[in-house]
A and B are shown apart, each in its own frame.
Chain A
């Protein structure tokens, strides 16, 4: 009831005012009456009554304050006043809102990503029970043997599933053809992730058996796009990579896996070379109530049993269980957090700019404020008004920021160089909007506080007497402190960006071992018709290379099984007769005779392959320089022998290979990733490739072509493949330089974004510095005039003003360097070839900041030199 009355009073404010007036007037009239009765004249009586009554307006104000609706009423008034103030200064308002929108927008966009991929639980039921099983001694994946043993013997898992890599295959439904990505998975895969087919069923044990019936489970999307959501899709016979499969299930629409598969096929353990290597990725769902540490303890025992039966390899220390989300996000977590920190800095700098602007404005309003204080306005009320203005600014900035975030987010998500589980989970969701609101309010408090200190320190008398020009000393100090802090933060960001850019540069500078300029790569996943036999592959390769050589501008063409720098394939290899000379993960390549000539890889000893190296001739091998050094030292390896698929005398991967004679030594070529050291590599002729490796692994041909005169070459190379077989797909045609650039997309993403944020920060800080120095000059126009009248030269004035700015900048630089020393170590996992505290980088970044600061000060300094002494002296 009372609140209702209060609400009503708000709308009847004018009536209330009127009543207050009437009441006061009534009182006065009564007093006059009394005075007249006491014998005064009418004039006297009125005058005396007013004196007796006291300060009418102040009393009325006190009455208003005691009225029920006072708070709400004045809030509205403040709001209106704030809007009016902001509209009266459109320039100031626009700059403040844009600055805030930038800061809030960048933070909101970045937080959307952080929330979508790091904070939000995975889109599976009870995702906290999901773990990834890894092999800490080797790489992340398990061997088939390990997986099967853990699957059968672990007491802590509700279900365990395995999967292998994606492959792109041809799906034929009757006459229609689709290229889709399939992922081989075990039956346990779906229950481990907590998903059931919405139609049909999971795979059966029979379908997992080698030689069992072929079955495929579709994603909802593929069911929709390729089968038109037809319910009778179940049971349909389709051709998958030229083999007949039965559609047995369709997954729910929400289901997504980190590898973007369109369909799932059974993963069969047949004792192949893929099974014996560590190629099997394993996930598991913990039983309810089982903690991670309990599961670890249990798995340590299971591993001991396993080692007791199968033996263990040196370096094997058991099984590691990693929470699945941690596993998925481990690769990009440091980058995202680093960038989030950077946009946080950016927001602080943006807020500081707005605070500085507000301070400058409140300084010019000081006289107005003093007058209002003298007339009886309470400081609290004034403060509330300033905060109202700040909140209005923040709300406007926040709104614009959310719009900006919407834009930025699109660009950000499409340029993220990591496989994310589901990019559609990165959106401006409710928690993100709440975050945007919170940071908007926090920023309004931040710059509202600046006004607070300003007003609470205001000395009424001196402000009224002296005018604002001299009373502004305190506010200038505060603005200087703000600008110093801005410069310090900017420098920290600049140093971080410089370190990342230097790392990127270092990566680019890494020798690849070949000449990537004017080299093109054409990737073709081989159709079954070509990949059926080694002869088939080689015939296709030769035909394509022949067509490629006919393309104008092409100097030479070659073929290899893996893309240099960007992908790798390894098998165990041993030096014949030397058990100790064994490498488990030797880089292995098949090559056409002119590969080294085409890539410009130097031949150091012996010969390259020739047309005479055929399936029927002597088995030969070419080794890389680093392998020659590692196994033969200073001796000549030519004529010595190595065995593929052999490790410490044990044969692996079902390979029974004759020893191969080393015929040549070539320079090292980077295998995978510019940041990975050169790895020992062996090459064999395509014609001599082991048949079972070929059918399982080497289903892709990478053609490398050296060509001059680049216009249209890429398209012509694509056509060359089509000329040989029009059904053969080409997945990629790219200059090799772009392929290499693609391998550093992550460090490039980091450095571009941080560089962008740092530049923005630098720009905003320079604006802040410019503002303070300009103000300083305006304040001292009088003083400058006197100096010039007394004979100071323009250069003296220039030096004086710039000196002010540089002093401030140097303080900022000092703080920034100290801060960067503390912070850059968090970057160390993102750096390559440069220390987090690299003194040269620190110096270069500081110098850059100084230069920008100098420029920012130069403009007001120039203006100062143009002061006309006569005008300046008359000023005020």
Chain B
């Protein structure tokens, strides 16, 4: 647990959108995927995940439908919509510019 980092405000949305980019997924899967890909650095709390999913759905960036899960149980799958994909691009660019800027400042400060 000490290795996990708190998510920055707003980055959870970006991570959810990015995770859903290749294929539709249910809430549990999204949380697992983020944890795996980040090598357990990022842990998503349920208390943030589900409200975020509902929020993104209301904004029309993702849509949901019920389907069968791996072991044939009913699960709610989320899918990236067209406008969600555009939003993902926007936020990705935004994030990259932001992180580059932060990195630049950190380097300048240490030299």
A19 touches B76 (CB 8 A): yes
Q: Is the interface of A mostly helix, strand, loop or mixed?
A: helix
Residues 26-51 of A at the B interface (beta carbon under 8 Å): 26-27, 29-31
Q: Which of B43-51, B81-89, B102-110 contacts A (4 or more CB under 8 A)?
A: B43-51
A23 touches B58 (CB 8 A): no
Contacts A55-B47, A58-B47, A59-B46 hold; do A27 and B27 have CB atoms under 8 A apart? Answer: yes
Residues of A within 8 A of B57 (CB): 68
B46 touches A62 (CB 8 A): no
B45 touches A54 (CB 8 A): yes
Residue in contact with A54 in the complex, picked from B26, B47, B73, B75, CB distance below 8 Å? B47
Residues of B within 8 A of A30 (CB): 28
A23 touches B27 (CB 8 A): yes
The yes or no answer to B54 lying at the interface (CB within 8 A) is yes
The yes or no answer to A579 lying at the interface (CB within 8 A) is no
A26 touches B46 (CB 8 A): no
Which B residues are closer than 8 A to A by beta carbons? Answer: 26-28, 45-47, 50-55, 57-58, 60, 66, 69, 73-76
Q: Contact residue range for chain A?
A: 20 to 34
The yes or no answer to A24 lying at the interface (CB within 8 A) is yes
Residues of A within 8 A of B55 (CB): 66
Distance in angstroms from B36 CB to nearest chain A CB is 12
B47 touches A67 (CB 8 A): no
Q: Which 4 A-B pairs have the closest CB atoms?
A: A66-B54, A62-B51, A30-B28, A66-B55
Distance in angstroms from B56 CB to nearest chain A CB is 9
Distance in angstroms from A434 CB to nearest chain B CB is 36
A26 touches B51 (CB 8 A): no
Bound Cα distance A24, B55 (Å): 16
Residues of B within 8 A of A59 (CB): 46-47, 50-51
The yes or no answer to A92 lying at the interface (CB within 8 A) is no
Known: A19-B66, A23-B27, A62-B51. 5 other contacts (CB 8 A): A26-B75, A27-B28, A54-B46, A59-B50, A66-B54
The yes or no answer to A580 lying at the interface (CB within 8 A) is no
Residues 60-77 of A at the B interface (beta carbon under 8 Å): 62-68
Distance in angstroms from A720 CB to nearest chain B CB is 91
The yes or no answer to A17 lying at the interface (CB within 8 A) is no
Bound Cα distance A19, B26 (Å): 13
Residues of A within 8 A of B54 (CB): 63-64, 66-67
Q: Name the residue on B nearest A23 (C-beta).
A: B76
Contacts A53-B46, A67-B58, A68-B58 hold; do A22 and B76 have CB atoms under 8 A apart? Answer: yes
Q: Name the residue on B nearest A67 (C-beta).
A: B54
Bound Cα distance A618, B50 (Å): 116
Residues of A within 8 A of B75 (CB): 23, 26
Bound Cα distance A600, B100 (Å): 112
List 13 A-B pairs, Cβ < 8 Å: A19-B66, A23-B26, A26-B74, A27-B50, A59-B46, A62-B51, A63-B50, A63-B53, A63-B54, A65-B51, A67-B58, A68-B57, A68-B58
Residues of B within 8 A of A23 (CB): 26-27, 50, 75-76
Distance in angstroms from A740 CB to nearest chain B CB is 77
A62 touches B58 (CB 8 A): no
Distance in angstroms from B50 CB to nearest chain A CB is 5
Bound Cα distance A65, B66 (Å): 21
Contacts A66-B51, A66-B54 hold; do A26 and B76 have CB atoms under 8 A apart? Answer: yes
Bound Cα distance A62, B26 (Å): 18
Bound Cα distance A63, B49 (Å): 9
Residues of B within 8 A of A67 (CB): 54, 58
Distance in angstroms from B109 CB to nearest chain A CB is 37
Bound Cα distance A19, B51 (Å): 14
Q: Name the residue on B nearest A62 (C-beta).
A: B51
A26 touches B73 (CB 8 A): yes
Bound Cα distance A30, B33 (Å): 14
Residues of B within 8 A of A2 (CB): 60
Distance in angstroms from B19 CB to nearest chain A CB is 15
Bound Cα distance A784, B72 (Å): 71
Residues of B within 8 A of A54 (CB): 45-47
B46 touches A66 (CB 8 A): no
Task: Specify which of B27, B51, B60 lies most central, judged by the most chain A CB atoms within 10 Å of its CB.
Answer: B51
Bound Cα distance A31, B46 (Å): 11
Distance in angstroms from A247 CB to nearest chain B CB is 76
Residues 445-490 of A at the B interface (beta carbon under 8 Å): none
Bound Cα distance A63, B45 (Å): 14
Bound Cα distance A330, B54 (Å): 65
Q: Name the residue on B nearest A19 (C-beta).
A: B76
Q: Name the residue on B nearest A53 (C-beta).
A: B46
Bound Cα distance A66, B51 (Å): 6
Residues 326-371 of A at the B interface (beta carbon under 8 Å): none
Residues of A within 8 A of B73 (CB): 26, 29
Residues of A within 8 A of B28 (CB): 26-27, 30-31
Residues of A within 8 A of B27 (CB): 23, 26-27
Residues of A within 8 A of B26 (CB): 23, 26
Q: Name the residue on A nearest B52 (C-beta).
A: A66
Digit string of A518-542 for contact with B (CB within 8 Å is 1, else 0)? Answer: 0000000000000000000000000
Residues of B within 8 A of A26 (CB): 26-28, 69, 73-76
